[in-house]
């Protein structure tokens, strides 16, 4: 198939149109001059990238990071390769990206350094709810209380601001989440009375745990009261492949049991007794039995909390009359220093929480059996706290 070439004589007789006259008067562009051969073709030069030692350290750390965003790692690799003299095309092939991407971040780093590798702020759509709305929400959930409820919910906040702002509950939730405000949550807090000797007392007890005195035994004692003896109305269904064990919701109450425990800190052995009342007479009776069971040549360092049965006049009088017992009271609100609490925690998790007990005597027998089995392999707790002030939570 051929092309028809117009006759030159005919072409000279064709008068130029208005479009031709406009184009002929339009100034030549660099591309036109290069197409006509009047100017040489010159490719744009890549910007020179220089990286100092500190910038290189930061960029290399980014490339090794497993938690940094992928875009940040990619930009760091582009800059490092450019600093090593690689061309845009070589970097693009190595990282499987476009040359325009390489050119962009190469230029941004050359102009602005490490700050140039961050995303620029985008305008987005105008804010619907401005700072005033945010301040009203913050003031409401932090300093006001609802009319009838005890806590603000997203719906209550939205209803309260319906007339002034017309905001939705979902938008209230987004604003609170952005400000990390959680009015529906609460954390318990104890404002304990100021005790200048708090950490001195704590350190003294911890020193007993960490360094056993010569010719002595360190005993921690405490009570666990009102342990419920309960049994289910119907038997449990055992677990099966693909299904966890099932337990009847309804249960029968058979009363409660209280126990007292003494734990030998440096052997881990525990002795428990059932008690009918948690009073001074019961506690003194328990101390009397301890006095009879422990080698009379040993001094007994007794760690106990500030319960009423431990600090009563009768108890203190008995302790004065038996100098073999050296009481060490935990500071106020620091009963967690008493290691007997650790045994009670183990007892709860391993026996009481899921156990079924048909009577108070059954519960007592099961506790005594658990204690006997526990003592077969009992070991002292690995205590590491030395009584120094704790960091604020």
Q: How confident is the model at residue 393 (pLDDT cuts 50, 70, 90)?
A: very low
Res 31: pLDDT: 59
3-state class (DSSP) for residue 221: strand
Res 27: pLDDT: 56
Q: How confident is the model at residue 126 (pLDDT cuts 50, 70, 90)?
A: confident
H helix runs in the chain, sequence order: 8-13, 18-25, 30-35, 53-64, 70-83, 88-95, 99-112, 131-143, 154-160, 162-165, 169-178, 198-210, 280-293, 308-311, 313-321, 340-347, 360-376
Q: What is the greatest pairwise CA distance in the chain?
A: 139
DSSP 316-339: HHHHHH-TTEEEEEPPTT-GGGST
Query: Residue ranges per domain, the chain?
Result: 53-117, 131-178, 198-376
Pairing of strands 216-232, 251-264: antiparallel
Q: How confident is the model at residue 10 (pLDDT cuts 50, 70, 90)?
A: very low
Q: How confident is the model at residue 137 (pLDDT cuts 50, 70, 90)?
A: very high
The span from the CA of 225 to the CA of 223, in Å, is 6
Mean pLDDT, residues 200-217: 92
State in words which class domain 198-376 has: alpha beta
How do residues 138-160 score in pLDDT, each as one tens digit? 999 998 888 888 899 999 999 99
3-state class (DSSP) for residue 22: helix
Mean pLDDT, residues 107-130: 86
Res 329: pLDDT: 93
Question: Is pLDDT at 294 greater than 70 in this prediction?
Answer: yes
Mean pLDDT, residues 220-239: 92
Res 93: pLDDT: 93
The span from the CA of 384 to the CA of 393, in Å, is 19
Determine what percent of the chain is predicted with pLDDT higher than 70. Answer: 87
More confident residue, 13 or 68: 68
Mean pLDDT, residues 106-123: 89
Q: How confident is the model at residue 194 (pLDDT cuts 50, 70, 90)?
A: confident
More confident residue, 21 or 359: 359
Mean pLDDT, residues 195-202: 84
Res 5: pLDDT: 46
Least reliable range by pLDDT among 13-17, 81-85, 282-286, 344-348:
13-17
How do residues 18-29 score in pLDDT, each as one tens digit? 545 544 555 556
Q: How confident is the model at residue 196 (pLDDT cuts 50, 70, 90)?
A: confident
Mean pLDDT, residues 87-104: 92
Q: How confident is the model at residue 8 (pLDDT cuts 50, 70, 90)?
A: very low
Mean pLDDT, residues 214-222: 95
Res 30: pLDDT: 60
Res 231: pLDDT: 92
Length of the chain measured in residues:
393
The tokens 């059932």 sit on which residue? 274
Q: How confident is the model at residue 346 (pLDDT cuts 50, 70, 90)?
A: very high
Question: Is pLDDT at 43 greater than 60 in this prediction?
Answer: no
């Amino acid at each position: 198939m051929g092309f028809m070439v117009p006759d030159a004589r005919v072409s000279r007789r064709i008068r130029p149109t208005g479009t031709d006259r406009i184009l002929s008067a339009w100034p030549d562009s660099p591309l036109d001059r290069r197409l006509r051969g009047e100017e040489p073709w010159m490719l744009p030069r890549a910007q020179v990238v220089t990286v100092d030692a500190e910038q290189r350290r930061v960029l290399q750390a980014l490339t090794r990071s497993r938690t940094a965003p992928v875009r940040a790692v990619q930009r760091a690799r582009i800059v490092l390769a450019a600093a090593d003299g690689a061309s845009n095309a070589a970097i693009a092939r190595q990282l499987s990206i476009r040359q325009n991407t390489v050119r962009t971040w190469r230029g941004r780093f050359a102009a602005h350094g490490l700050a140039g590798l961050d995303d620029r702020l985008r305008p987005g759509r105008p804010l619907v709810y401005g700072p005033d709305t945010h301040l009203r929400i913050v003031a409401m959930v932090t300093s006001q209380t609802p009319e009838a409820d005890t806590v603000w919910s997203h719906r209550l906040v939205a209803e309260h601001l319906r007339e002034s702002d017309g905001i939705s509950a979902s938008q209230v939730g987004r604003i609170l989440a952005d400000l990390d405000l959680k009015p529906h949550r609460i954390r318990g807090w104890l404002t304990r009375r100021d005790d200048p000797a708090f950490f001195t007392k704590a350190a003294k007890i911890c020193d007993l745990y960490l360094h056993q005195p010569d010719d002595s035994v360190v005993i921690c004692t405490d009570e666990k009261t009102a342990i419920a003896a309960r049994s289910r109305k119907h038997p449990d269904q055992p677990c099966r492949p693909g299904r966890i064990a099932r337990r009847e919701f309804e249960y029968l109450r058979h009363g409660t049991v209280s126990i007292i425990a003494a734990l030998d800190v440096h052997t881990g052995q525990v002795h428990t007794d059932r008690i009918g009342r948690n009073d001074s007479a019961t506690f003194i009776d328990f101390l009397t039995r301890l006095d009879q069971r422990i080698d009379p040549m040993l001094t007994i360092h007794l760690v106990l909390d500030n319960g009423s049965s431990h600090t009563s006049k009768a108890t203190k009088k008995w302790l004065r009359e038996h100098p073999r017992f050296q009481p060490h009271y935990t500071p106020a609100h620091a009963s967690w220093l008493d290691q007997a609490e650790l045994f009670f925690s183990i007892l709860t998790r391993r026996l009481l929480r899921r156990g079924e007990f048909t009577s108070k005597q059954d519960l007592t027998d099961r506790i005594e059996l658990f204690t006997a089995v526990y003592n077969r392999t009992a070991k002292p707790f690995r205590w590491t706290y030395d009584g120094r002030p704790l960091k604020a939570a």
